Amino acid sequence: MDGRSRLRGSRRERGPGPGASPREETSLSADAGVVPGPPGPRKSAAEWTAVVLAAGRGTRMRSSRPKVLHEVAGRPMLALVVEAARGAGLRRTVVVAAPESRAQLAAAAGGGDPERLRVAVQREQLGTGHAALCAREAAEGSEHVLLTYGDLPLLSASTLAGLMERHLSRGATLTFLTATLDDPTGYGRVRRREGRASGIVEERDADAATRAEREVNAGLYAARAEWLWPALAALEPAPRGEIYLTDLVGRAAAEGECVETWQLRDPAEARQVNTRAELASAEQALRARVRRELMESGVTLVDPATTFVDVGVEVGPDTRLRPGVHLSGRTRVGAGCEIGPNAVLLDMEVGERCRIEGATLRSSTLRDDVEVGPYCVVRPGCVLGERVHLGSYAELKNTQVGAGSRIGHFSYVGDSEVGAEVNIGAGVVTANYDGERKHATRIGDGAFIGSDTTLVAPVTVGAGAYTAAGAVVVRDVAPGERVAGVPARVLRRSGDGGRGERSAVDEEV
């Protein structure tokens, strides 16, 4: 599987939308030539904790599911944000959750190791500043804190790394993310004094001159922990009783602290998802990013607009994805494959040089040089060895197939072990369910299963055995035996020839 490409995808707390342009004169921009990638382990990264605010209920989504658990490109939004933080080198993440969603959010974020992921609970919805303060105990021991939101599915590890690097290199107390928009309507404007950020002005509070400014707050913050926690505790609530993170900027500037900014190269990264329409827009944007990364890594997409690949899917170079292909979940595809058209793969492990036509495959493994014909269904638990061939309309479930075996058209093989170089003809069925339990079928190396054979499990067909077309096998067939009929009986050969000679029925099998 070497050579695969792994795909990574203000008080009014929205991120910038499309139509943004870089503003290099006010802050160090990625467009200005500083484009840090996700850093490896380093001392500074170990000193950080990411705090992901995810306690909002997302009422505008009209859903009983917590907003951050809605998926974008196959992954919950919260998982995408946590993975971006880890990709930026942060070793510990604190997720701030509502009490009723604590367990769900922990599972979605990959909980299990308390040193890597902790969940803090915000029991009352008192604003983003209050939510951040709820993480204080869980983030104890960190020198720096990165504050972000769980509904930012387009956020990249390189953006977080850039913000952290800016913060550390300038020795800042507080560093926040900005963007310059052609149309900044609805966003808090960044207020500057002598070129330095001094606060954030909400649009409703801005005069005409401030409204004309195009630099807006993107809503992500890096802060020195020893200053952050007391500052959050000291913030005054707004008239409706909520405490906002945006007030941190003005407070830090008023106290004479060093306040820095980092400007996004792609302002769409900070676009928050609050509605179903925004969810669809984020889905479109992230899938476009995934497709671009695939093509840059050497994968051919015949029609990118009709190719759907989840974040985290791996595809090897010189693989060709034809129209209508869906690669989902934890799918990994090797080099030199041909997939589609209209193939659906979920949680699949696919070797090199495989050919998969318009089939559906789930939670199974294909070794190298496997061929899967149109309208086949490979259900969970299957392993297809090298050079296995499936015809059309074949269905497999929980079945291991040895190298070089062939399974013909309109066949069902379930709960089976099929050896190497076996031929299974068209219309073969393994009758694996007796109405109460599932039973196994075992077929030895080199066996020949004739068309329309029914194998009534539990049953074993030995190596080199032969079943004639239409046989109903209800008892084991010994290696090398030839059977035919309903029920199948062992054939007594009339001569010493091969499979095609006339034979007499000897005994029932």
List, by residue number, the catalytic residues.
409
CA dist., res. 312 & res. 32, Å (int): 29
Half-sphere exposure in the Cβ direction for 368 (13 Å, CA):
6
For residues 52-67, one letter each, b for 16 or more C-beta atoms within 10 angstroms of the residue's C-beta and e for the rest, the string is: bbbbbebeebeeeebb
| Structure-block tokens of residue 410 | 């309109």
Beta strands (DSSP E) in 24-125 are 28-29, 48-53, 71-72, 75-76, 93-97, 117-121
Taking a C-beta distance cutoff of 8 angstroms, is the pair 161, 149 a contact? no
- Gap between the Cα atoms of 71 and 324, Å rounded: 20
Tokens of 119: 């969940």
Q: Would you say 217 and 197 are in contact if contact means Cβ atoms under 8 Å apart?
A: no
Nearest to 425 by CA among 462, 456, 450: 450
- Please state at what angle helix 157-169 crosses helix 77-87, rounded to 10 degrees: 50
Helix (H, G, I), strand (E, B) or coil at 362: strand
Strand residue runs (E) in 341-450 = 344-346, 349-350, 355-356, 360-362, 365-366, 371-372, 377-378, 383-384, 389-390, 395-397, 400-401, 406-407, 412-414, 416-418, 423-424, 429-431, 441-443, 448-449
3-state helix, strand, coil split of the chain in percent (to 5) is 20, 30, 50
Contact in structure between 308 and 291 (CB atoms under 8 Å): no
Nearest CA to 164 among 151, 146, 148?
146
Residues forming a β-bridge with 455: 430, 473
* β-sheet bridge partners, residue 376: none
